[in-house]
Amino acid sequence: MSLFEKRILISDLCEKLDTYMPKGQVEGVYQAYIMAAAAHDGQFRRSGEAYVFHPINVAMILAELKLDYYCITAALLHDCIEDTTLTHEDIVNDFGEEVAHIVQGVSKLTGLEFHSNIDKQAQNFRKLFLAMSTDMRVMMIKLADRLHNMRTLKSMRRDKQLRIAKETSEIHAPIARRLGLNSIRVELDNLCFEIINPYRYKVLTRQIKKQCGNRKKIIKHIQREIENRLKQEGLDKVKITGRQKQPCSIYKKMKIKQLKFSQVLDMYAFRVIVDDVSQCYQALGIIHNLYKPLPGKFKDYVALPKSNGYQSLHTVLFGPNKIFIEVQIRSEDMHFVSEYGIAAHWHYKSDTGNPAE
In a 10 Å sphere around its CB, with 0-12 CB exposed, 13-18 middle and 19+ buried, how is residue 182 labelled?
middle
Centre a 10 Å sphere on the Cβ of residue 150 and count the other Cβ atoms it contains: 23
Stated as kind and residue range, the H or E segment containing 348 is helix 343-352
Q: Find out whether 283 and 274 touch, Cβ atoms under 8 Å.
A: yes
Centre a 10 Å sphere on the Cβ of residue 217 and count the other Cβ atoms it contains: 9
Longest dimension (CA), the chain: 65
Query: Cα–Cα–Cα angle for 107, 109, 111, nearest 5°?
Result: 95
Q: Find out whether 41 and 83 touch, Cβ atoms under 8 Å.
A: no
- Rounded Cα–Cα distance for residues 41 and 57 (Å): 16
Report the catalytic residues.
Answer: 82-83
